[in-house]
Amino acid sequence: MKVLLVGNGAREHAIAERLAQDCELYAVMSKKNPAIAQLAKQYWLCDIEDAAAVRKAIAGNEFDLGFASPDATLAAGVSDVLQAAGMFVASPSKAASRIEWDKGFMRAVLRRHGVKGSPLHEVVASSSDALRIIKDYGDVAVKPLGLTGGKGVKVSGDHFNSTEEAASYAYSLIEKDGNVLIEEKMVGEEFTLQAFCDGSRVSTMPPVQDHKRAFEGDIGANTGGMGSYSTGPLLPFIQQSDMDEAKKVLQDVIRAMKKEGSPFTGVLYGQFMVTAHGIRVVEFNARFGDPEAINVLSLLEGSLTDTFLSMAEGHLDAPAFSNDCTVVKYLVPEGYPEKPLKDAEVAVDSFGLEECRARIYYASVYENSGKIMTTGSRAFGILGRAATVAEAERISENGCGFVRGPVWHRKDIGTDALIQRRVDHVRSLRVKP
């Protein structure tokens, strides 16, 4: 099969790696990802957030199956372009991906169709309404409605120390965007549950916990994700009842989107929180997570190409996953996230990585005259996979040492100490009345 992948980050590298095992892979990228370029029979470079540019890049070529990955690419309607070009498409349309790129729409869909899990929330367009809601809720999460790369949400206690600070941020978003989403602050532990969807059915993947805070100990600014871990069918702090509840929410969302007239075919990413009052929905994404894609795709048993095709054809063939544990640590440029070093050369010791059984995934880097250069965003995901999370963490940590240059990473991701903090936190929540 001839399969077209649109995207060029570490998430797309993980997707490309699995697709290339049993298809003829082609790629459209905004910048040349050296690893994806090596896996693809042919690739094109263009602005992948411009549907017309993607259409022009692939004009005159025919493909059997297409998959567009990044959030802004989906929001630009690239999946629709692929479908118009005559291929089966396993990624959501612009209308379906609205579940991610319009947070107000997402909450409204859940409310209209009785999907459980939303906190108190309101979309407001005036400063007076924003102040009223913030005072009413007390502790809040203030969110832009659109895409922010995981960096736009601010929360009382973490980013705000007063009502005035929360209101000031809400006012700035209203001034910039015309509106803002204000939610009651939820307290708990977050986890990611991703699912393959064919418009009617879902098939879930192993749960993963991401770490958005920049620095060890979960402090610092939010990032796109500094790393993640998985421990088989359950995470150490969640119960089977939590998984069952989250799965039901995902299935209910798919039913709701079908009723809305925008059936969702693709990967639906649910960000959930275990709270004292059960499972709550933080957000949905219309694609694989990054780095969570690296965790789950390394565990996928069988063909990703076949899974994508079954989704696109509307008869989802649910794949199996290994029960192994995984840890991903992201190497990022010096100064990240505030003042990241750009256009710096880094060197990858592929032999050393292979020797320590780590795998590397190329993210926001580019190739220049045979050299690998940083862009200022996350550079490489380093994966460890093993029977235990402790061994997976050791492999990932050792693997980070085989990338040389001005990059750094969070050493605590996947460690026993950090995971135990999660377990203790949830245990304390569950005993509350």
What tens digit of pLDDT does each residue of 85-95 get?
999 999 999 99
**Residues 309-328, mean pLDDT to the nearest whole number:** 98
pLDDT in tens, 162-174: 999 999 999 999 9
**Tokens standing for residue 357:** 């059984």
Give 150's pLDDT tier (boundaries 50, 70, 90): low
Segment 119-146 mean pLDDT: 90
**What's the pLDDT at 195?**
98
What is residue 152's predicted lDDT score, i.e. its pLDDT? Answer: 82
Q: What is the CA radius of gyration of the chain?
A: 21
Whole-prediction pTM: 0.94
Beta strands 227-231 and 325-333, pairing class:
antiparallel
pLDDT interval class at 234 (50, 70, 90):
very high
Domains 2-96 and 189-419 equal at CATH topology level: no
Confidence of residue 147 (pLDDT cuts 50, 70, 90): confident
Beta strands per DSSP E along 243-402:
265-275, 278-285, 300-301, 320-321, 325-333, 345-348, 359-362, 365-368, 371-374, 380-386
Q: What is the largest CA-CA distance in the chain?
A: 63
What 8-state DSSP symbol labels residue 185? P
Q: Is the pLDDT of residue 148 over 80?
A: no
Task: Give the pLDDT band of residue 433 (cuts 50, 70, 90).
Answer: low
pLDDT of residue 221: 87
Nearest to 378 by CA among 339, 425, 337, 423: 337
Report percent pLDDT > 70 for the chain: 99
- Tell me how far apart the alpha carbons of residues 10 and 16 are, in angstroms, rounded to a whole number: 10
Homologous superfamily (CATH) for 120-184: ATP-grasp fold, A domain (3.30.1490.20)
Q: Are strands 24-29 and 2-6 parallel, antiparallel or unpaired?
A: parallel
Span 172-183, pLDDT tens digits: 999 888 989 999
In this predicted model, what pLDDT tens digit does every residue of 368-396 receive, in sequence order?
A: 888 999 999 999 999 999 999 999 999 99
Best CA proximity match to 11, nearest among 285, 320, 234, 281 = 285
Q: Is the pLDDT of residue 432 over 70?
A: no
Neighbours of 60 (CB within 10 A): 5
- Angle, alpha carbons 189-191-194 (nearest 5°): 165
User: What is the SS3 assignment for 163?
Assistant: helix
pLDDT of 157 reads 82
Mean pLDDT of 405-432: 95
Average pLDDT rounded to a whole number, residues 204-217? 96
Query: For residue 342, is pLDDT > 90?
Result: yes
**pLDDT at position 113 over 70:** yes
Q: Which of 330, 99, 129, 44 is nearest to 212 (CA)?
A: 330
CATH class of 2-96: alpha beta
Other C-beta atoms closer than 10 Å to the C-beta of 177 total: 13
Is residue 282 helix, strand or coil?
A: strand
Indicate whether 28 pLDDT > 80. Answer: yes
Domain boundaries, the chain: 2-96, 120-184, 189-419
Least confident window among 126-130, 234-238, 400-404: 126-130
pLDDT, tens digit (0-9, with 9 covering 90-100), for 284-301: 999 999 999 999 999 999
Mean pLDDT taken over the chain: 95
What is the structure's pLDDT at 43?
98
How large is the average pLDDT for residues 305-315?
A: 98
Token pair, residue 172, equals 């700035």
pLDDT > 90: percent of the chain = 87
Contacts of 22 (CB under 8 A, 6+ apart): 303, 305, 306
* CATH number listed for the domain at residues 189-419: 3.30.470.20
Q: Would you state the pLDDT for residue 153?
A: 84
**Each residue of 128-148: b (16+ CB within 10 Å) or e?**
ebbbebbeebeebbbbbbbbe
Return the sign of the alpha-carbon dihedral for residues 262, 267, 273, 277: positive
Q: Residue 44: what are its φ and ψ, rounded to 5°?
A: -130, 145
Higher pLDDT, 314 or 370: 314
